[in-house]
């Protein structure tokens, strides 16, 4: 199972961004950013926005985890 919040947090840390900056880009509070990092799943519209902001395709983790029968 994918824990998307921890994957987002890892990429966020790699980019050495501030939580304040990320919150501003997402138009939310800093507390919401920390909440995102704890989520096991996430709304697709929010994931599109995060992917755009961090310039990283977070959807690929779901595609790679998919079992095609």
**Residues 2-51: tens digit of each pLDDT:** 899 999 999 999 999 999 999 999 999 999 999 999 999 999 999 999 99
Mean pLDDT of all residues in 60-64: 87
Quote the pLDDT of residue 63: 84
Quote the pLDDT of residue 1: 80
pTM here is 0.90
Quote the pLDDT of residue 69: 56
- Scanning the structure block, which residue is given the tokens 């690929």? 60
d(CA 61, CA 29): 26
**Residue 67 contacts residue 4 (beta carbons within 8 Å):** no
d(CA 63, CA 30): 29
- Scanning the structure block, which residue is given the tokens 């994957």? 7
CATH class of 4-65: mainly alpha
- Scanning the structure block, which residue is given the tokens 């995060």? 50
* Neighbouring residues of 67: CB distance < 8 A, sequence distance ≥ 6: none
């Amino acid at each position: 199972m994918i824990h998307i919040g921890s994957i987002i947090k890892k990429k966020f840390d790699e980019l050495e961004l501030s939580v304040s900056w990320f919150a501003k880009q997402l138009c939310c509070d800093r507390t919401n950013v920390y909440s995102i990092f704890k989520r096991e799943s996430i709304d697709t519209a929010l994931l599109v926005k995060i992917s755009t902001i961090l310039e990283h395709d977070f959807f690929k983790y779901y595609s790679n985890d998919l079992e095609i029968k």
